C-alpha cells in the first residue's frame, strides 16, 4: 500500500515524531496554567543516645499540603501555548 510505504520513509517518521513531541509540549504548557497541589511528608529521628533511638520522644514528623500558583496569573501562559 502507498500509505505504508510513506510511513516507512525516515523523513516522514521524523516529522511524525516531531508532531508527537510538539503535541506533548502543548499539553505540558496547558497543564502549567493550573495550580499545582502537592502533599509532602517528613519523618526524622533526633536521638543522640542509641538507647532512645526508637523512642517516641526522639522522633518527629511533619505532613502538609503545598499549593503553587504563578504570581502573575494564568493569562501569561497563553503566549506559551500559542508558541508551542
Grid coordinates in use for 55?
A: 523512642
Rounded mean pLDDT of 18-28?
A: 93
Q: Inform me whether the pLDDT recorded for 44 exceeds 80.
A: yes
Kindly indicate the confidence band of residue 1, based on its pLDDT and cuts at 50, 70 and 90. Answer: low
Can you give 35-82 as a three-state secondary structure string? CEEEEEEEEEECCCCHHHCCCHHHEEEEEEEEEECCCCCHHHHHHHHH
Spans of all domains in the chain:
2-83
Q: Inform me whether the pLDDT recorded for 71 exceeds 80.
A: no
Grid coordinates in use for 37?
A: 497541589
What is the pTM (predicted TM-score) of this model?
0.47
Amino acid at each position: 500500500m502507498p500509505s505504508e510505504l510513506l510511513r516507512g520513509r525516515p523523513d516522514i517518521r521524523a516529522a511524525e515524531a516531531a508532531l508527537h513531541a510538539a503535541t506533548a509540549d502543548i499539553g505540558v504548557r496547558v497543564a502549567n496554567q493550573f495550580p499545582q497541589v502537592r502533599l509532602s511528608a517528613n519523618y526524622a529521628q533526633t536521638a543522640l543516645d542509641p538507647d532512645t533511638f526508637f523512642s517516641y520522644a526522639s522522633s518527629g514528623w511533619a505532613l502538609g499540603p503545598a499549593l503553587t500558583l504563578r504570581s502573575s496569573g494564568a493569562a501569561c501562559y497563553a503566549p506559551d501555548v500559542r508558541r508551542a
